[in-house]
Amino acid sequence: MILQNKTFDLNPNDIAGLELVCQTLRERILEVVSANGGHLSSSLGAVELIVGMHALFDCQKNPFIFDTSHQAYAHKLLTGRFESFSTLRQFQGLSGFTKPSESAYDYFIAGHSSTSVSIGVGVAKAFCLKQALGMPIALLGDGSISAGIFYEALNELGDRKYPMIMILNDNEMSISTPIGALSKALSQLMKGPFYQSFRSKV
């Protein structure tokens, strides 16, 4: 993976190397957002997830779809925009969200919550019709799974059996408090002994 003038080997087996990449991305995000403004906490909180996605998958064959896409700064940095990231949210600079006209690695224009799985279902169907290799990978937060459009997409995905990966960033952060049975179930799971034991081992 080339970060413009920086090159990193995103070897999924090299934990120390991936940690170095994460630290470099965090420093760059903090530097630019401190000057230009932007979505700092959501982007910092998704760094490891996005580095892991890039280490494991080819985003040209497996399109990354970011819910809202305000947390996709690390993705921008990993796809040839490390130096130009200084223009984030500036006139004629980089967008604060994913934008296909900005990069071939930005698969979809986003900016609204809860749409990633729905978009992913459409992409997966197109892949199946074209008999193309790969599958969409959606990154979404727990605040997104309380919307009706998410359940409609999940219902369609389960019925059609399209290949797709969903990564849930359950950080208990959203504009308003998530409600509903699924939110409660996830909260109980994270407080339970199995998850706590797993987290301590990881």
56-90 pLDDT per residue, tens: 999 999 999 999 999 999 999 999 999 999 999 99
Separation in Å, CA 149 to CA 99, 108, 166: 22, 17, 15
Query: Which of 26-30, 34-38, 117-121, 147-151 has the weakest average pLDDT?
Result: 147-151
Residue-wise burial string across 46-59, b where 16 or more C-beta atoms lie within 10 A, e elsewhere: bbbbbbebbbebeb
* Alpha carbons 30 and 35: distance in angstroms, whole number: 9
Rounded to whole angstroms, the maximal C-alpha distance in the chain is: 50
Beta pairing partners, 138: 65, 166
Query: Residue 114 has which token pair?
Result: 């809860």
- Say if strands 2-3 and 6-7 run parallel, antiparallel, or are unpaired: antiparallel
**Residue with structure tokens 């959606």?**
138
For position 198, what pLDDT does the model report? 73
* Angle, alpha carbons 25-31-37 (nearest 5°): 110
Residue 100, burial from CB neighbour count under 10 angstroms (0-12, 13-18, 19+): exposed
Name the nearest CA neighbour of 57 among 78, 39, 26, 43.
78
Mean pLDDT of 50-54: 97
For position 179, what pLDDT does the model report? 64
Name the nearest CA neighbour of 188 among 172, 167, 200.
172
| Mean pLDDT across the chain | 89
CATH superfamily of domain region 2-175: Thiamin diphosphate (ThDP)-binding fold, Pyr/PP domains (3.40.50.970)
pLDDT band per the 50, 70, 90 thresholds, residue 176 = low
- Cα 72–chain centre separation: 6
For position 200, what pLDDT does the model report? 76
Q: In this model, does residue 149 exceed pLDDT 70?
A: yes
pTM: 0.83
pLDDT band per the 50, 70, 90 thresholds, residue 139 = very high
Domain ranges for the chain: 2-175
